[in-house]
Structure 1
Amino acid sequence: MQHTIVQAETRASAGRLVLSMASTPEELREVQRLRYKVFIESMGLNSLASDDGLDSDEFDEFCDHLIVRESDSLKVVGTYRLLNPTRARKLGRLYSEGEFDLGRLNNLRGRMLEAGRACIHPDYRGGSVIMLLWSGLAEYMRRQQCDYLIGCASISLADGGHNAVAVYQQLREKHMAPPEYRVTPHLPFPYQKLDPAPAVQVPALLKGYMRSGAWICGDPAWDPDFESADLFLLMPLANLDARYARHYNVGEPALASAA
């Protein structure tokens, strides 16, 4: 069975946007090419460069992949990777477990959806694409009967890590999870040894998570491959702001299945 998300009444300055779910190997490669462009080429991560121009790993085949296309050109302009509890059990682990000890969350595993690799084309970062992705994400969680969204949010270390320190210090004041949801990084980012940047620049995706009720679950991890400090986030589905769906004047269901 192939799965298609039909999204109506949605327009951006570049044209109409349509939300769908990857259902073929070629669509997955389109997603991986966009991720490569954004994560590898634009960030100058030469150590992760590949001959095929794809950002891929062993998690991709176990995940569902939300896609936003510009309807006139059919160009993929946004994507989100989703790992549901059933697929996570089959795989045997979550992506986040490569960076954090999630032992305190074991009782939530059957109700947690892991989202990652959020990626938007540089020409489409006005907010419409991410809001459309989040609309699909919320409905996917309801369909999978997941009550919690988890994932890692990255902060670039291009400035030597000073902004990452400032972001963490600012967000932990109001958005730290209760102790029973705390996680521990395997490779901690040494934020205590760095001065914070004088002006805090919170990444747009991370800012969106915070506005929608996500918690930071502990100290940041250091990801040397992507040259970032990563925060582990936990967000109850109940906190996902309904304005993301209302913004597009869509009702349920936004996801439709076609054989």
Structure 2
Amino acid sequence: MQTTIATAEQRAPAPRLVLSMATTPEEVREVQRLRYKVFIENQGLTALATPDGLDCDEFDAACDHLIVRDSATLKVVGTYRLLNPAGARKLGRHYSENEFDLGRLKHLRSRIVEAGRACIHPDYRGGSVIMLLWSGLAEYMRRHQCEYLIGCASISLADGGHNAVAVYEQLRHKHLAPIEYRVTPHLPFPVEKVEAARAPQVPALLKGYLRSGAWICGAPAWDPDFESADLFVMMPLANLDGRYARHYNVAA
């Protein structure tokens, strides 16, 4: 699969950004280097530092990896990690199950794609990269005949959790899933013990999910390794499909 995108500001003959799927171990390592830079180096998480400069775990081998390159430099500037039902069966679980009890979603497992490790290079966060990744995500879900997207959306705890509490309190009134789709965090973030910030700042990725019709499926989990509060997000493909392609000139 290879897709290119040209925004209204970029009408050069050769599109600047190119979307594809990682097909070699070296391409996966390129993805892992970008994730390391964004998730560990840029966040100053020295406890997670590794000599090889790679962010990797046991899920990588069972997942597919969408990548966006700058065609001028060939540098990987964006990625999404996707776990389809066959990969989840092979592993015996979804990544989200490290943080949440997904028992109520058991009957949907054959129709779920889990997306994670969404990562964009700091110099390429104008919007085009995530739009291109999401167009690839929608195509991937159709190809695997899946109807639901799940994943975790992280909110930094650098401010002591005040923004995370404010975001959760704001979203649970408008975007909370029906009870049959609710999940339970294994290690809840203590929202009742932290004062909410006055002006919630919703992370861009989470905001994008919500604009596409996603739900949050309950209270946030506490991820002490990455110093974040994580919300479990679920979105039907019907809500995602076509929303972002309409804003861009996307051609497969």
TM-score interval w.r.t. the shorter chain? over 0.9
Aligned residue in 2 for 1:229: 229
Counterpart amino acid of 1:248?
Y
Aligned residue in 1 for 2:126: 126
Once residues 234 and 127 of structure 1 are traced to their aligned partners in structure 2, the CA distance between those partners, rounded to angstroms, is: 21
Aligned residue in 1 for 2:114: 114
Counterpart amino acid of 1:6?
T
Question: Are 2:41 and 1:7 aligned?
Answer: no
- Which secondary structure state, in structure 2, belongs to the residue aligned with residue 35 of structure 1? helix
- Which secondary structure state, in structure 2, belongs to the residue aligned with residue 6 of structure 1? strand
Relative to 1, partners in 2 of residues 1:76 and 1:29: Cα closer, same or farther, differing over 3 Å? same
Could you state the TM-score of these two structures normalised by the residue count of structure 1? Answer: 0.93
Once residues 114 and 9 of structure 2 are traced to their aligned partners in structure 1, the CA distance between those partners, rounded to angstroms, is: 28
Question: Are 2:38 and 1:41 aligned?
Answer: no
Once residues 63 and 12 of structure 1 are traced to their aligned partners in structure 2, the CA distance between those partners, rounded to angstroms, is: 33
Once residues 112 and 176 of structure 1 are traced to their aligned partners in structure 2, the CA distance between those partners, rounded to angstroms, is: 19
Contact map agreement 1:11 1:17 (CA 8 A) in 2? no
Counterpart amino acid of 2:232?
F
Counterpart amino acid of 1:5?
Q
RMSD over equivalenced CA pairs, Å: 1.5
4-13 vs 223-232, greater mean Cα deviation: 4-13
Once residues 8 and 17 of structure 2 are traced to their aligned partners in structure 1, the CA distance between those partners, rounded to angstroms, is: 6
Aligned residue in 1 for 2:220: 220
Correspondence list, 1:204-219, <5 A: 204-219=204-219
Once residues 243 and 150 of structure 2 are traced to their aligned partners in structure 1, the CA distance between those partners, rounded to angstroms, is: 20
Aligned residue in 1 for 2:144: 144
236-245 vs 180-189, greater mean Cα deviation: 236-245
Correspondence list, 1:1-259, <5 A: 4-9=1-6, 16-240=16-240, 242-251=242-251, 254=252
Once residues 126 and 176 of structure 2 are traced to their aligned partners in structure 1, the CA distance between those partners, rounded to angstroms, is: 28
Counterpart amino acid of 2:239?
N
- Which secondary structure state, in structure 2, belongs to the residue aligned with residue 243 of structure 1? coil
Once residues 89 and 204 of structure 1 are traced to their aligned partners in structure 2, the CA distance between those partners, rounded to angstroms, is: 31
Contact map agreement 1:67 1:79 (CA 8 A) in 2? yes
State the 4+ residue runs in structure 1 displaced beyond 6 angstroms.
Answer: none
Could you state the TM-score of these two structures normalised by the residue count of structure 2? Answer: 0.96
Counterpart amino acid of 1:170?
Q
In structure 2, list runs of 5 or more residues that go unmatched.
none
Once residues 67 and 104 of structure 1 are traced to their aligned partners in structure 2, the CA distance between those partners, rounded to angstroms, is: 32
Following superposition, the deviation at residue 10 of structure 1 comes to: 5.0
